[in-house]
Amino acid sequence: MDRELALEIVRVTEAAAVSSAQWLGRGKKIEADDAATTSMRTMFDSVHCRGTVVIGEGELDEAPMLYIGEEVGDGEGPEVDIAVDPLEGTNIVASGRANAVAVIAIGDRGTLLHAPDMYMEKIAVGPEAAGSVRLDDPIETTIDTIAKTNNKRVRDVTVIIQDRERHLKLIDRVRAKGARVKLFGDGDVGASIAAALPRTGIDLFLGTGGAPEGVISAAAIKALGGDMQARLVPSDAEEEERCIAMGITDTSKVLQLSDLVKGDDAIFAATGVSSGELLDGVRFLGGDLAETDSIVMRAKTRTVRYIRAHHHLDYKPHLLAEE
């Protein structure tokens, strides 16, 4: 992949973030998602690549754009797999809460897992603990391992877990072990990546969430030198069949980071819509000016860039929400 592609992709997440942020707190999640998707798809036309959406807004009959199998980019440049979530956190934006982001992951053609839209068990850690934890280890063992690799006392280890009923027993066990728990609502991409970033103070991400979000997160964690393991959790025979159709014949298999994102390269980009674990949200500064906060990283070089940008919206009419 061209190194310039990383910076081109940031423009795509910025466009989605600015458009959807205009719906923050207005109680209209569908409008927010449509705005993000439309702006992301429009901006993709200028990206120098031959991209195929492998994780997107749904199948062709479910989504008018950014559907699985859609070709995006300007038709030239490298052939790549593209995983997108134009607005991770539609409910977040509708209610005006934290942690909504626009995200994209890119890999060379054939390198991103074609994850079906279902639940996935996930564990993610930073570089210090890479290779030391296992998804099937008891949480008590994992916390001891994290404490050792991160040079912390157990009571200083912080585990981030989604605040859901399905995680109540897990939360109780972490607390009983003596570690710290940080709960989050929606948006597990930012939360899982936070476990691989040193400035967040989060040591471990654990829990069951969306499989597509897991693959997108894996691209970032690969770029950060962290580690991730996962396992698909189909809820019925139909979801089992979807896994098989996508080439995943053994849903009990623990997927390593190299299964989620093959090869030695991947690009991840995200722009904050509302402020959260990973990024600040879009700020409308008055007049036609908006400010965005983004992160972009590449696995091959382990480069991580934080980008703060100003956007003059009167020059970008596709970013403007309709009243």
Torsion of CA 21, 166, 232, 267, to 10 degrees: 30
Residue 306, marked binder: no
Q: Amino acid identity of 178?
A: G
Q: What is the DSSP string of 115-163?
A: --SSEEEEEEE-GGGTTT--TTS-HHHHHHHHHHHTT--GGG-EEEEE-
Q: Has 166 been labeled as part of a binding site?
A: yes
Q: Is 57 annotated as a binding residue?
A: yes
Reduce the DSSP state of residue 304 to 3 states and report it.
Answer: strand
- Is 89 marked within a binding site? yes
Tell me whether residue 59 is annotated as binding: no
Angle, vertex CA 122, rays to CA 110 and CA 198, nearest 5: 95
Residue 280 annotated as lining a ligand binding site: no
Q: Residue 210, annotated ligand binder?
A: yes
145 annotated ligand binder: no
- The verdict on whether residue 186 carries a ligand-binding annotation is yes
Strands 180-184 vs 158-162: parallel, antiparallel or unpaired: parallel
CA distance 172 to 197: 25
Known binding residue 90? Answer is yes
Q: Is 293 annotated as a binding residue?
A: no
Torsion of the alpha carbons at 151, 154, 158 and 161, rounded to the nearest 10: 130
φ and ψ of 282, to 5 deg: -65, 135
Tell how strand 267-272 and strand 101-108 pair up: antiparallel
Closest CA to 115 of 205, 230, 9, 36: 230
What is the C-alpha separation between 155 and 250, in angstroms, rounded? 37
Q: Can you say which residues are annotated as belonging to the binding site for substrate?
A: 88-90, 119, 164-166, 186-188, 210
Q: Can you say which residues are annotated as belonging to the binding site for Mn(2+)?
A: 33, 57, 85, 88, 213
Q: Can you say which residues are annotated as belonging to the binding site?
A: 33, 57, 85, 88-90, 119, 164-166, 186-188, 210, 213
